[in-house]
Structure 1
């Protein structure tokens, strides 16, 4: 049986590899490993051309982590802490998100992917979460994941087989106003929205944490099952 084809968005950033130092389309390899382990075939989707035109050729979609969304997309002026905004990536991923939702494509948003989903449907973001919750726990240090307990409700509790989880976090932004059409499926103890689903969609979930950073990957397994 052919593996379901899973498109994954990616970064475009300066990178050093072997003898080279140049802009590169790149993705942490943990995503590739989890998709492959779960039985899918990963295909990286750089923010170039019109990736939304590929939706009909995909069996599933992941919008991966990355820098901040341009706050102008939700009617705000950029805060001093907002950074790594890549407007070309916003353009590509918002178009891709809209096309995937129209097509009912199985979808998993991770970190930035949750924020793209919320803003695409009309929601807003807290631009610097420490100013809201009073701690740096969600993003403790550059390049360091934080571990914060979250409380899950269905369908995430069903996927994980538990209502309590302590996943890897690395985010300084989060949902402020929840978009119409989304339902909250996880929160942390400080009230931060940590996961949502699209109401009425067969499989359209997004989490604020980084499931690719853990050895087990029930979210990836669930996406591949939905895409198969």
Structure 2
């Protein structure tokens, strides 16, 4: 059986180094990555993929959820528009989505949620780290799909974000929080499969629990390709 194809959105600045990492994780999980980014001649085509990853990068404009812009925000409007359309179309078609950092936030926004633009200003008890190294502790919520995928023991992950989920989008549940209560993962409660993690599992490929996140997406993508239940496919992990 051919490997499910996963479209992966990346930043124009850092995509050259991030996409190979994500593609490597997908290959380990049984999938195959296809690079997407704004400003190229070739527009992403959801007809060509079985799943989607919305990758990390700059902050999301508050224009997408009715918030007020903070002066520290670093925005990429063309990417906002591209990824918003991709996630909305994927949900409509029933294509599974994994959101990484910014991607988790975009998933929440597209489904009607909002963001804390100054996450650490809101969650003052949360440990503020900015590193690709695993330095932040995250607690997985019991009886969630993420708990089934990766277990309930605390995770030590990386963190490169300044924004975080505020009001949850439609059909999303909290799947993990940090020590200060900040949301660190969200998941959709029905098909299509959708999971958003605030950290960067692509940098943690040596950790079995982080590889399982990519395997969940690939399993869901294979189920989409075969017109089967995605959540049941993920639950078989």
Instruction: Report TM bin, short chain.
Output: 0.7 to 0.9
Indicate the residue corresponding to 1:205 in structure 2.
195
**Of 39, 47, 61, which residue of structure 2 is paired with 1:56?**
47
Indicate the residue corresponding to 1:226 in structure 2.
220
Alpha-carbon offset, residue 115 of structure 1: 0.6
Indicate the residue corresponding to 1:113 in structure 2.
103
Matches within 5 A, 1:159-174: 159-174=149-164
Work out the CA distance in 1 between the residues paired with 2:61 and 2:141.
Answer: 29
Q: Whose helix fraction is larger, Structure 1's or Structure 2's?
A: 2
8 Å contact kept, 1:70–1:78: yes
**Of 125, 141, 165, which residue of structure 1 is paired with 2:115?**
125
8 Å contact kept, 1:104–1:201: yes
Equivalent position SS for 1:167 = strand
Work out the CA distance in 2 between the residues paired with 1:109 and 1:65.
Answer: 8
- Structure 1 residues 132 and 180, CA, compared in 2 at 3 Å: closer, same or farther? same
Work out the CA distance in 1 between the residues paired with 2:193 and 2:17.
Answer: 23
Q: Whose strand fraction is larger, Structure 1's or Structure 2's?
A: 1
Indicate the residue corresponding to 2:32 in structure 1.
41
Deviation per residue, 1:163-216 (Å, 9 max, x gap)? 432222221110111123211111122111111112322411111111112113
Deviation per residue, 1:103-159 (Å, 9 max, x gap)? 111211110011101111221111111211226734x24766642232333200110
Answering whether residue 3 of structure 2 is matched by residue 3 of structure 1, we say yes
Alpha-carbon offset, residue 79 of structure 1: 0.7
Work out the CA distance in 2 between the residues paired with 1:73 and 1:161.
Answer: 33
Work out the CA distance in 2 between the residues paired with 1:117 and 1:51.
Answer: 20
Q: Which runs of 5+ in 1 are unaligned?
A: 16-24
Q: What's the TM-score, normalizing by structure 2?
A: 0.83
Equivalent position SS for 1:118 = helix
Work out the CA distance in 2 between the residues paired with 1:27 and 1:8.
Answer: 13
Root-mean-square deviation (CA, aligned residues, Å) is 2.1
Work out the CA distance in 2 between the residues paired with 1:159 and 1:151.
Answer: 10
Equivalent position SS for 1:179 = coil
- Structure 1 residues 143 and 224, CA, compared in 2 at 3 Å: closer, same or farther? closer
Matches within 5 A, 1:33-112: 33-48=24-39, 51=43, 54-83=45-74, 85-112=75-102
Answering whether residue 147 of structure 2 is matched by residue 157 of structure 1, we say yes
8 Å contact kept, 2:62–2:68: yes
Q: What's the TM-score, normalizing by structure 1?
A: 0.86
- Structure 1 residues 145 and 71, CA, compared in 2 at 3 Å: closer, same or farther? farther
